Amino acid sequence: MSKKTIAVVGATGAQGGGLVRAILADPSGGYAARAVTRDPASDKAKALAQQGAEVVAANVDDKAAMRRAFDGAHGAFCVTFFWDHFSPEKEQAEARAMAEAAKDAGVKHVIWSTLEDTRQRVPLSDDRLPTLMGKYKVPHFDSKGEADAFFRELTPATCLRTSFYWDNLIHFGMGPKPGPDGTLAFTMPMADKKLPGIAAEDIGRCAYGVFKRADLIGKTVGIAGEHLTGAQMAAALGKALGKPVVYNAVPPEAFRKFGFPGAEDLGNMFQYKAMFETEYCGARDLAFSRSLNPQLQTFTQWLEANAKRIPLG
């Protein structure tokens, strides 16, 4: 029987890369990976081709190219790149273009990598979170949540709510930093509340599990590897690094003023997750995530493989 092709946007990146590798790691699973990239000549794209993926060129801003990239595919994994441009409007235009391309290509199962529209719980009139960019509370969440409607209207989609990547400790400046006395401190504005986290690689593995579950079409599901407080994360970090790490639970107001690009957006995001701990964790069931991806890592397992890569400066 011929394999079902899954076209993967962001295939050279964190989420899409995990999905391509999950498909290729299961040669008898009945699925083939089509990696979508802007540059098939890049080292990352060539590595995916070498591992057995079909590699096609397309930019999500080019609808005709996206339609070609999805043509003949059974499934499409759609992700956007908020931190490349910081624009909710651009993110939404790209989401709509992918949904339209998937519809035109007749894709049978789409996964839209999304997050909550926080304004459903915190309307713009609610001053607990400052309104940003005129009409958002957590711009990189709200614009994705709003874009769920494009996929719902146009495609047979599963909306996949992802979680904070633990890889942010390596790539996003979230690793512990030495304080004035040299002690490492892990900073997060979540008081004693739990943060659902996940190894970025596991998002793609869970997505692969979703593609095997036609009953999840039309549903919104959430995934996480573990729900941990900042204190629990600091303790696990200390153990993995072999030196003490303290939890620096700054107030969200202070985090918003850290001044790096996106600090206000992320300050609101952490505050939202803390305010709605029960609902936010509840939307990311660990047993369900593991049923999609039996290899799902805990934070400690992720640290065993990755602690040495965390910059401590």
Ligand X SMILES: NC(=O)c1ccc[n+]([C@@H]2O[C@H](COP(=O)([O-])OP(=O)(O)OC[C@H]3O[C@@H](n4cnc5c(N)ncnc54)[C@H](OP(=O)(O)O)[C@@H]3O)[C@@H](O)[C@H]2O)c1
Task: Indicate the burial class of 289 (C-beta count within 10 angstroms; 0-12, 13-18, 19 or more).
Answer: buried
Measured CA to CA, the distance from residue 167 to residue 172 in angstroms comes to 8
Number of residues that bind ligand X (CB under 6 A): 26
* Residue 181: other Cβ atoms inside 10 A: 6
Nearer of residues 52 and 178 to ligand X, judged by Cβ? 52
Whole-angstrom CA distances from 10 to 13, 18, 39, 181 are 5, 10, 11, 41
Measured CA to CA, the distance from residue 307 to residue 184 in angstroms comes to 14
Measured CA to CA, the distance from residue 118 to residue 274 in angstroms comes to 12
Nearer of residues 181 and 285 to ligand X, judged by Cβ? 285
Please identify the residue of the shown chain whose CB is closest to the bound ligand X.
13
Nearer of residues 79 and 184 to ligand X, judged by Cβ? 79
Minimum separation from the CB atom of position 180 to ligand X (A): 28
Nearer of residues 52 and 173 to ligand X, judged by Cβ? 173
67-106 residues in contact with ligand X (CB under 6 A) are: 79-84
Nearer of residues 19 and 236 to ligand X, judged by Cβ? 19
184-203 residues in contact with ligand X (CB under 6 A) are: none
According to DSSP, residue 189 is labeled: S
209-238 residues in contact with ligand X (CB under 6 A) are: none
**Strand 164-165's sheet: what is its strand order?**
164-165, 194-198, 226-229
SS3 (DSSP) at 87: coil
**Does residue 140 interact with ligand X by CB under 6 A?**
yes
Residue from 31, 150, 151, 165 in contact with ligand X (CB under 6 A): 165
7-66 residues in contact with ligand X (CB under 6 A) are: 10, 12-16, 37-39, 42, 45, 59-61
User: What is the binding site for ligand X (CB under 6 A)?
Assistant: 10, 12-16, 37-39, 42, 45, 59-61, 79-84, 140, 162, 164-165, 168, 172
